[in-house]
Structure 1
Amino acid sequence: MTASSKKNQGEQRPDAARPKVPRRLLDGVLLLDKPIGLSSNDALIRAKRLFRVKKAGHTGTLDPLATGLLPLCFGEATKFSQDLLDADKTYEAAMRLGIRTTTGDAEGEAIETREVRCDEAAVRAAMTKFVGEIVQVPPMYSALKRDGKPLYEYARAGQTVEREGRQVTILALEMIACGLPAIAEVTFRVTCSKGTYVRTLAEDIGEALGCGAHLVMLRRTGVGALTLEHAVTLDALTAADEPARDAWLQPVDALLSTFPAVTLNAEAARRFTHGQRLPLNELVLDRAACEAADRVRVYDEGARLLGVAKAANGVLAPERLVVSGAA
């Protein structure tokens, strides 16, 4: 063997002989209980590797500080992820009164300390003012972009840029526990519309109380109709074998449970899967209920999900279709 061939042999990459792990065409929804300290994207990457799935996406980010429900979509389910991005969210959170931080949560540095003079009754009264439609100014430490650059990049550079207030809706806000007067910490549950920053809500409640506040714990417990009840941790998935992992997957239509269901006969199903609009009066369904709901989930007679459609003006119009056999 020549010196040159020995050198080339020695320079072979260690993974050159390692076989590629085959990726699978897998459709479904994984309800993941995201751990603290991990970004949503990192959690998605780990789950994607564990399931060896070709296509995957998440349905809205959770900060590394946050834990809880992170629905992950595999395969055909990614077509419907926007419905969860738009869904209301429920969180359990804790805020520390008397201290403001650079980020609005425990990851930031303290920038102001004030005396806490309020009691539990005052906190409850302040919370009631934030139920309903409110205006929030997005925090500087957020992924919102200004001139193509995330706000957190400006913040890390010590810059503050003007942000417009955005209207969000707080559907429910209740106190779970209050440590006052001994401990200036309040735990609460909130159900809110998309785009709501819970750490900004905590800061605003703190300002209303005159002492400031920052978020010290955040756990998402619900996204639309999905809850933590059927969620699984990354540790449990890592310890399981492949069949056990696959058993944790919810069907694609788990994302669509709030939509009325429509079943089509064989001919109508064939036309629907070809993207054809169908007159509602030719279908066996409650036309009024469908039009009131605007959007419906559509099945064939074998209970196979065909996709989502808009129901309006007497017509069922295909909106997003599931690839035949994928669901």
Structure 2
Amino acid sequence: MTATPRARVQRRPVHGVLLLDKPLGLSSNQALQKAKWLLRAEKAGHTGTLDPLATGVLPLCFGAATKFSALHLDADKTYEATLQLGVTTTTGDAEGEVIERRAVPAITPEQLESVRQRFLGRITQVPPMHSALKKDGKALYEYARAGIEVERAPREVEIHALNLALAPEEQAQAAIKIEVTCSKGTYIRTLGEDIGQALGCGGHLTRLRRTATGPFTAVQCTTLAALEALDDRQRLSLLKPPEALLPDHTSVTLSPDDAARFLTGLRRRGDWPDADQVIVFGDQPRALLGSAHIKAGELIPSRLLSPIEIRQILQAADARPLTSEVTA
């Protein structure tokens, strides 16, 4: 039989941020590629990964927004997790093989509060072997799959808020509900394992959900199923502008002449106080130009949009059709 030719997708420039509620079972990249296909976008990326067994907030960046995705990696994150006590696994979650079972002692609220206090503030974690952290150019999970364990340097992270509560008694196995707000680089699987060890019985995560990252929360997100059910215009309407990734930046607006020079990479002088993070707009029409920092009255470009990207964003805002489509 002759294989049916795969339909070609008409790619187009799409600029903005889609807040996705990543489903269970998909990798972050698989979710990204599905959303990219539904939006017919030329260029896409995400702001940090979620494990396939994790769900929740995954900001997806398209077009010009990809230039600022790395800035969002530094954002604090909030998670909800379930820690099953008494069973440890190779991966720290339900995906791994069981390596030890221990009896779970009776846990009092006082013991739980004592453990909670131990993990608040700045703590040290050893990155898990089943992670994307690289060693000599290879991800740690590649070593782990080959049965090789490599030395990992402990890293400091910060736990801003932590709530621990015993799960309802009708649960088949003793478990703890975890709510945590933490700095970038925090491994929640490792946090769960360490809490289990502190309680004297070990444990592994059976559920992990990211409920917030930076200013974005789960209630703002859409699902892949909902996205698929929409028409093209409705899908595009869900995109937040690229500047949504820069909520805490100082705003500077340039005149048309200064904006044109700034876009060529030239520094501009003005009566501005020093600032490490600046978002720059042009005037007439108002449009995002890029990011910068200010030192000694100089506005120094960091990441710049191209004139073509700016024009495409303005066209989309005016609901005019984008014309520079290419065939995938």
Q: How far does residue 176 in structure 1 lie from its aligned partner after superposition? A: 5.5
Counterpart among 162, 166, 173 of residue 155 in structure 2: 166
Aligned to 2:58: 70
Matched with 2:293 is 310
What is the SS of the residue equivalent to 2:11? coil
1:181 Cα deviation after fit: 10
Structure 1 equivalent of residue 124 of structure 2: 135
2: CA distance, partners of 1:113 / 1:256: 46
Look up the match of 2:193.
203
Which residue is equivalent to 1:280? 270
What residue identity is the alignment partner of 1:72?
L
1:206–1:306 CA distance, 2 compared to 1 (3 A): same
Larger Rg: 1
Offset at residue 165 of structure 1 (A): 0.8
RMSD between superposed Cα atoms in Å: 1.8
Residue matched to 2:317: none
**1:296 and 1:177, CA in 2 relative to 1: closer, same or farther beyond 3 A?**
farther
Residue 300 of structure 1 corresponds to which residue in structure 2?
282
Alpha carbons of structure 1 residues 131 and 181: separation in structure 2 relative to 1, 3 Å: farther
Which residue number in structure 2 is paired with residue 322 of structure 1?
A: 305
Structure 1: where are the runs of 5+ without partners? 1-9, 282-286
- So what's the TM-score if we normalise by structure 1? 0.89
3-state DSSP of counterpart to 1:135: strand
Q: What is the alpha-carbon distance in structure 1 between the residues aligned to residue 98 and residue 121 of structure 2? A: 30
Q: Following the alignment from structure 1 to structure 2, what is the Cα–Cα distance between the partners of residues 20 and 255?
A: 32
Q: Could you tell me how far apart the structure 2 residues matched to 1:180 and 1:312 are?
A: 58
Match of 2:321 in 1: none
Q: 1:120–1:178: 8 Å Cα contact kept in structure 2?
A: no
Query: What amino acid is the match of 2:12?
Result: R
Deviation at 1:67, TM superposition (A): 0.1
Match of 2:16 among 15, 24, 28: 28
Matches within 5 A, 1:1-327: 14-15=4-5, 20-117=8-105, 118-175=107-164, 178-179=167-168, 184-281=174-271, 287-288=272-273, 291=274, 293-301=275-283, 302-324=285-307, 325-327=311-313
CA deviations over 1:10-61 (Å, ceiling 9, x no partner):
86x531xx65221011101000000001100100110111111110011111
8 Å CA contact retained: 1:120, 1:180: no
Residue type of the partner of 1:255? L
Which amino acid in structure 2 is aligned with residue 67 of structure 1?
Answer: T
Aligned residues: 307
Distance 2:276 2:139 in 1: 35
1:280 partner amino acid = G
Could you report, residue by residue, the CA deviation over 1:103-161 in whole angstroms, capped at 9, with x for unpaired residues? Answer: 10111122112222222321222011111111111111112222332222222232222
Residues 159/226 of structure 1: CA separation in 2 closer, same or farther (3 Å cut): same
Deviates more, 1:229-238 or 1:138-147: 138-147
Aligned-partner SS, 2:144: helix
Runs of 4+ in 1 over 3 A off after TM superposition: 176-183
Normalised by the size of structure 2, how large is the TM-score? 0.88
Between the two structures, name the one with larger relative contact order (CA 8 Å, sep ≥ 6): 2
For residue 211 of structure 1, report the CA deviation from its aligned partner: 1.1
Matching residue of 2:322: none
**Separation in 2, partners of 1:326, 1:228:** 29
Q: Distance in 1 between matches of 2:228 and 2:294?
A: 43
Aligned partner letter, 1:81: S
Q: Would the aligned equivalents of 1:225 and 1:258 in 2 still touch at CA under 8 Å?
A: no
Is the CA contact (8 Å cut-off) linking 1:177 and 1:188 kept in structure 2?
no
Q: Does the CA contact (< 8 Å) of 2:112 and 2:165 recur in 1?
A: no
CA deviation vs aligned residue, 1:222-256 (integer Å, no higher than 9, x gap): 11112222210000011111111111111111111
Provide the identity percentage. 54
Distance 1:270 1:176, change over 3 A: farther
Q: Secondary structure at the match of 2:179?
A: strand
